[in-house]
Amino acid sequence: MSILVGNDTRLLVQGITGREGSFQTRRCIEYGTNVVAGVTPGRGGEAIDEVPVFDTVRQAVAATQANCSLIFVPAPFAADAILEAADAEMPVIICITEGVPTMDMVRARRFLNGSGITIIGPNCPGVITPGQARVGIMPGDVFSPGKVGVISRSGTLVYEAVAQLTACGIGQSTCVGVGGDPVIGTTPTEALRLFNEDPHTAAVVFIGEIGGVAEQQAAEYIRSQMSKPVIAFIAGATAPPGRRMGHAGAIIVGAAGTAQAKKDALAAAGATIVDSPAEIGVVTKRALGERGLS
């Protein structure tokens, strides 16, 4: 496998009996993901498409040895769902839920600091290792196995980028949607580190966006430690300052949050910059060819 999810993933879905939870569980199963359990308090003993439902994450883990949790719990309760999964020592937690209160995530992150647990999201499309496991809401048909990792703050743009890569004959090792909220679990820098250490990944496509300084932090990691080529696109070049564009975290406050500042930092760190979303595939193919990785 590559990073986070793969053939050895034993998936548990928190909120499996809800409309979105049950729908996406079926899509994960159709893709080939090994879904072993679901959790909805008060619904223990039921089943969704032969997947057993438990009242608590601890009960589900004890019965099924689940090692990854996918969360479709409503926003007011999503942070508690993350903490419940962490209390059950779930090594990978992927929270799709949008609109999780910022202070809830601040408390959850503080609680989990140093735990060794990986959290992806919230407000993210999830993670997919093509041909092995789909954990989230990504459309599996555009992905193909290969050696290019993908990191994205945007859900829609990761689908577009991957469709272009696949059309250009460039397969993906794993694709990670880190999420677009101001406070998330795994940052782009942490995702870059995972890919940098992964022997199955030869290069990384990084899709950032306006707001915050995550791209500048990623640029510093690329400059100082990244041993693999990075191809980067930053969304929001025409966004006006002070206006939120889509994600809660996509708002320009100060010069550092602009698309140009992020592009400049990444270019100075040695990343190949893509100026248009329509060129992600062709620029990546050219960059790989120049390095003998095509």
- Residues that are catalytic: 247
Question: Measuring CA to CA, how many Å separate 214 from each of 163, 177, 184, 209?
Answer: 25, 14, 11, 9
**Of residues 118, 138, 119, the one with CA closest to residue 130:** 138
Q: Of how many residues is the chain composed?
A: 294
Please state, as a whole number, how many other Cβ atoms lie within 10 Å of the Cβ of residue 284: 27
Distance of alpha carbon 50 from its chain centroid, rounded?
Answer: 27
**Complete DSSP assignment for 141-169:** GG--EEEEEEEES-HHHHHHHHHHHHHTT
CA 175, chain centre distance (Å) = 7
Strand intervals (E) in 158-248: 172-177, 203-209, 230-235
Asked if residue 34 lies in contact with residue 46, where contact means CB atoms within 8 angstroms, the answer is no
Rg (alpha carbons) of the chain, rounded to whole number: 18
Dihedral sign (CA 21, 23, 26, 27): negative
